[in-house]
Amino acid sequence: MRFDILTILPELLNGPFNVSMMKRAQDRGLLEIHIHNIRDYSTDKHKNVDDYQYGGGAGMVMAIEPIATLIEKLKSERSYDEIIYMTPDGELLEQRHSNSWSLKENIMILCGHYKGVDERIREHYITKEISIGSYVLTGGELAAAVVVDSIGRLIPGVMNDETSALTDSFQDDLLSPPVYTRPPVFNGWKVPDVLLSGDFGKIEQWREQQAIERTQIRRPDLYKKFTRED
C-alpha cells in the first residue's frame, strides 16, 4: 500500500514513520510512505505557499497553484483510491474508515495549514475530508500521521498477530474489555478468577460483558450505536 502525503513541513513527519510498526512495515515492503514538500512546486521566488484572503479577514490561505501542480503530477503517475484533506471541519475519523482504506492501494493525503486551503482544491481534487477531533492543530501533519498509522496497522502482515486488530476498541462499536498479565496477584490486587479458569467459553462471555459495560459507562454514544445494531 502506498501513501503520498503533501505538506509544507515534511520534517514533522519523519519521526512517526521511522520507528516501531510503521518502520517495520516499510522495511518489509508492506507499506510505502512518500512525503512531498509543497514548497518545491511554488513558482514564488521565496517559495511562499500562502496568500491573503479575497474579501479580507485574518489569516492566510494555502495557495492553489503549487498544490494543484503537485496533485496533477502524482495523478499522472498512478491512480488514487482516495485523496484526503486533513481539516478540522472534516468528517470525524472512525474505525470504519481505517478498515475500508486498509483494502486500498494508493491514498493521497493533503495537510492543511493557516486558515485552510483554497476552496477550489477541495471542490475539484479532494474525495474525502477528515478530522481527528473537535479541536484545531497548527497543521494537518500530526493528523495525517494518525490516519496513516490507523490504516497501516491493519494491512495484512504488519501486525505480528493479525487477529489482535479484530478485538480492538471500536471494531464492533464497543470499547475493548480490561486486560491483565502476570503476576496473578500484585499488592493484593487479583486478576479476575474467570481469566485463570481455562474455560474459554466463559472467558469470551466475560470479555463481551465487560466490553458492553465499559462502553455504556465511558462512551454512551457508542453504546447507543451498538444497541441499535444489536
pLDDT tens sequence across 105-128: 999 999 999 999 999 999 999 999
What is the domain count for the chain? 2
The pTM of the full predicted model, rounded to 2 decimals, is 0.88
- 162 falls within a domain: no
CATH of the domain at 181: 1.10.1270.20
Residue 218, domain extent: 169-229
Of 152, 183, 199, which one is at a domain's C-terminal end?
A: 152
pLDDT digits (tens, 9 = 90+) for 11-62: 999 899 999 999 999 999 999 999 999 999 999 999 999 999 999 999 999 9
Amino acid found at 48: N
In a domain, 50, yes or no: yes
Please report whether residue 72 resides in a domain. Answer: yes
Peptide bond into 88 cis (omega under 30): no
The Cα 37–Cα 8 span in angstroms is: 5
Pairing of strands 185-186, 189-190: antiparallel
What is the pLDDT averaged over residues 148-173?
78
Whole-number pLDDT of residue 169: 61
Q: What percent of the chain has pLDDT over 70?
A: 94
Look at residues 104, 58, 108 and name the one whose alpha carbon lies nearest to residue 85. 108
Co-location of 131 and 69 in the same domain: yes
Bridge partners (DSSP) listed for residue 106: 2
Q: What is the mean pLDDT of the chain?
A: 93
